[in-house]
Every structure is written in structure tokens, then in C-alpha cells.
Amino acid sequence: MEIDMIKSASLKKQARQSLCYANFAVLYDADGLPHDCRFREASPAMQALLSTSCADIIGKTLGEVFPKLTDQADDSLQAILEQTLRTGSAEFEQYWMAQNTWIHVLALSGEQGTINAVFSDQTEQKKVALALKDANERFVELFNSGTDAAIIVRKRDGRIVAINSSFLSLSHFSREELIRKSIAGLGLFTRLNADTGEPEQVVNVMSLDQAEVSICRKDGSSFDGLISAKAVPLWGSKHVCIYIRDISIHKQSDEALEDLSPCQ
């Protein structure tokens, strides 16, 4: 507890100088449970973040400044306060609608009945994260709706993390039989052009364009396909998206034409 108080005091001193800092008095309900807290002090940087003055926030409750915290049915603010008082700290993000700003909050329990908090503007980071999430969702939507068979393999360990319905239809495997399995251990690809290496090595390339491959079905039969692979960043890590186009009919037609003897 003494260490926590020292840390909290050190944080408060530093925050007063440069950080977006505020100190709160915890408010308790009739049952003795913390339900809100009141601004007692705010640094100049805190005022700049909220585009307001100390006079506008000192004396107000956190719920009055960030009404979304007290509007939620899951008692978010009460849970945050209880965690801070119980464990000594809590972190959360809050959208500041008036400024169209995302704010990250680090709360530390202070002297009895008070909480010290440091606020930081996370708007740009949040925009990047949301844009990446949207891009990932659009990619997955296109991946799932594509007519070509496709699988997504995690680059670091070669495990399959996504399969579209076209691949399942062609291979006769179920999703459960392939998902999270290592592509190297499944033996899905039995032949690849000599100049492109072993089939499993597609997870090590940045791109691969239309190499011929034979794909094994669940029953042991196979079909010929053109395989293309491209490294893509998904879900915060590197993956390889592998597309397979069934060319069995074309191959059979070509072989039939080759078997025909020219007219004498």
C-alpha cells in the first residue's frame, strides 16, 4: 500500500506538470458502493484535451462530463471504480462525443476516497485501428464470397485460419477438419511446378502467381488447379492467402486433344 501511495504521489507530481491529469473524489451510494466520482483538480493539459476550462469541470462528476459511462446498462463506471479501489489501478477507453475524440484513461487509487487519473488522446490510433478492422472485414467478406477456392494460412506457424465454401466444395473436407491444422501436415497439395518448390513453401513467399498444383480431396482423389498466393496483413499479424482455381476440365480437354492422331 505504501508503494502504491508513493507511485500515485509521483504520478500526480509529474502529471501536474505535463500530463492530462485529474484528481477525483469517489462518490458512494446508500449501500456504500462507488457509483461516480467528482473532479477535484485538473491540469492545464486536461483542459486542453477537453477544450474547456477548470471552472467548467471542477465540481462536476465524471458521469456528467462523460455521460455514456453512467448511461450503460452494464454499470461500467461502477465496475471501473470498484476495480481501481480494489486493485489499485484500471484502464479504459471513452468516446468524448463533444470533441469527437477517443480518450484512454489510466486510473490509480490515491489517498483515501480519491482517484488520480491520466488521460491521453487516442483518436488517431483508434481511427487507424478501426480502419484496419474495416479493411479486414471487407477482405474476409470478399474472401468468403469468392468463386475461386481459397484458404488463409497464418505465416508464423503455417496453420489454416480461414477457408471459404468454394474450397470446401472442391476438397470435400469439412471446415472442422481443416481449421487450425498445419498446411504441411495435411498433404493437400501433391504436386507443384519444379521451379516453385514444395507446396508447403507457399507460406514463405510474398507472392506466387498461377503455379500448377494437384489438390487432394478427402476421399484420396485429386484435381488439377492453378494456385496463387499472396502475403496479407490480417488480424494484427502476417498471413498468406492461397487461391486455387480448378482447371481439371481444361487439362482433360488438352490431354484428349493430344491423344488424337493427325489425319493421314
CB-facing half-sphere around the CA of 56: CA atoms within 13 A: 9
Where do you find CATH 3.30.450.20 in the chain? 2-121, 126-247
Which tens digit of pLDDT belongs to each residue from 248-257?
765 544 444 4
Cα 182 from chain centroid (whole Å): 22
Contact 22, 43 (CB under 8 A): yes
Contact 52, 76 (CB under 8 A): no
Contact 231, 239 (CB under 8 A): yes
Q: Which CATH class is domain 2-121?
A: alpha beta
Query: What is the CATH number that goes with domain 126-247?
Result: 3.30.450.20
Q: What is the pLDDT of residue 194?
A: 45
Contact 113, 124 (CB under 8 A): no
Q: What is the pLDDT of residue 15?
A: 46
Higher per-residue confidence, 228 vs 25: 25
Q: Kindly state the average pLDDT of the residues 99-104.
A: 81
User: Is pLDDT above 90 for 25?
Assistant: yes
Counting beta carbons within 10 angstroms of the beta carbon of residue 119, is it exposed (0 to 12), middle (13 to 18) or buried (19 or more)? buried
User: Is pLDDT above 50 for 113?
Assistant: yes
Contact 223, 212 (CB under 8 A): no
pLDDT band at 8 (very low <50, low <70, confident <90, very high): low
Which tens digit of pLDDT belongs to each residue from 33-43?
998 999 998 88
